[in-house]
Amino acid sequence: MSKLILLLFSPSCKPCSNNPFFVYNRVMKRYDDVIDFHGHSCPGLALGYRVSQRALKELKNRSEDEEIVAVVENNSCAVDAVQVMTGCTFGKGNLIFRDYGKHVYTFVRRPSGKSIRISVIWEKPVGTKEEKKYWDLYANGDRSKKVLEFVHSRKAARTRQILDAGDDELFAVTKGKSMLPPEAEIYETIRCAVCNEMVAEPKAQSQNGRKLCVPCFEQKGTKR
């Protein structure tokens, strides 16, 4: 076990074909891996899984570092699947969130700029009046056994439908080349003059010659 820890965290450990851990990283993940990360299966997660499969079919290997950049236009369950499947993550800086509320996902490979834009066209089936009644009960906080059984069964059916559908039933796809966003930057960290907590230097605000974190700056530089 100690050798494994040393290998994983050694400063000399670089992504390369001879490193078995990074070779594994290039293998396409399974839906079970996505569920493990997200916590449960649902239609939104299934959509993100299928979107990512389609993107990787075009752009090949998942991103070990910043080889692929994902631009997502929502913050739904689907984005968790995108992170697991493509290796585009918030922490690495190659997951860009645009708060448009749209099921649209664009993936760009560095350095070529090869890109694929995937817009979800799938629509959930139209329900009956009885089904709408149950959905409304659930939306209003009803967690009775009967309501939960209905919701879980419908979600499971929709999830299965998404996983089994053809790409043409789910997506409108546009291929091309896109301008590459800048790579993620690494910033110096300084201490806030008020709370003494660490803050990335570009995020610090200036006040009377002092550098403050955003929360302290918004509180007029008063001590908490």
Is residue 29 domain-shared with residue 99, that is, in the same domain?
yes
Check whether 4 has a pLDDT greater than 60: no
DSSP 8-state secondary structure symbol assigned to residue 69: E
Assigned domain for 3 exists: no
Assigned domain for 23 exists: yes
Assigned domain for 95 exists: yes
Assigned domain for 2 exists: no
Q: Can you point out the beta strands (E) in the chain?
A: 68-72, 95-97, 104-109, 114-120, 171-177, 189-191, 198-200, 205-207, 210-212
Assigned domain for 81 exists: yes
Is residue 179 domain-shared with residue 112, that is, in the same domain?
yes
* DSSP of 87-112: ---TTTT-EEE------EEEEEETTT
Cα separations (Å) of 178 from 66, 103, 106, 181, 186?
A: 15, 19, 9, 9, 24
Report the candidate in 205, 189, 201 with the shortest Cα–Cα distance to residue 216: 205
* DSSP of 108-145: EETTT-EEEEEEE---PPPPPHHHHHHHHHHHTT---H
Summary mean pLDDT of the chain: 86
Within 13 Å and on the Cβ side, how many CA atoms surround 78?
27
> 212: domain CATH number?
3.30.60
75-129 pLDDT, tens digit per residue, is 999 999 999 999 999 999 999 999 999 999 999 999 999 999 999 999 988 888 9
Please, are residues 54 and 171 in contact by the beta-carbon 8 Å criterion? yes
Helix axes 145-164, 129-139, angle to 10 degrees: 110
Q: Check residue 26 and give its pLDDT.
A: 54
Assigned domain for 223 exists: no
Is residue 175 domain-shared with residue 145, that is, in the same domain?
no
pLDDT band at 192 (very low <50, low <70, confident <90, very high): very high
Report the candidate in 188, 202, 193, 199 with the shortest Cα–Cα distance to residue 223: 193
Structural domain total, the chain: 3
Is residue 160 domain-shared with residue 175, that is, in the same domain?
no
Residues of the domain holding 171: 18-122+166-184
> 83: domain CATH number?
3.30.1330.130
DSSP 8-state secondary structure symbol assigned to residue 27: S
What's the rounded Cα separation, in Å, for the pair 164 and 159?
9
Is residue 118 domain-shared with residue 102, that is, in the same domain?
yes
Is residue 145 domain-shared with residue 207, that is, in the same domain?
no
pLDDT > 70: what percent of the chain? 86
Is residue 108 domain-shared with residue 135, that is, in the same domain?
no
Assigned domain for 11 exists: no
Model pTM above 0.85: no
Q: At 39, list the tokens.
A: 């916590």
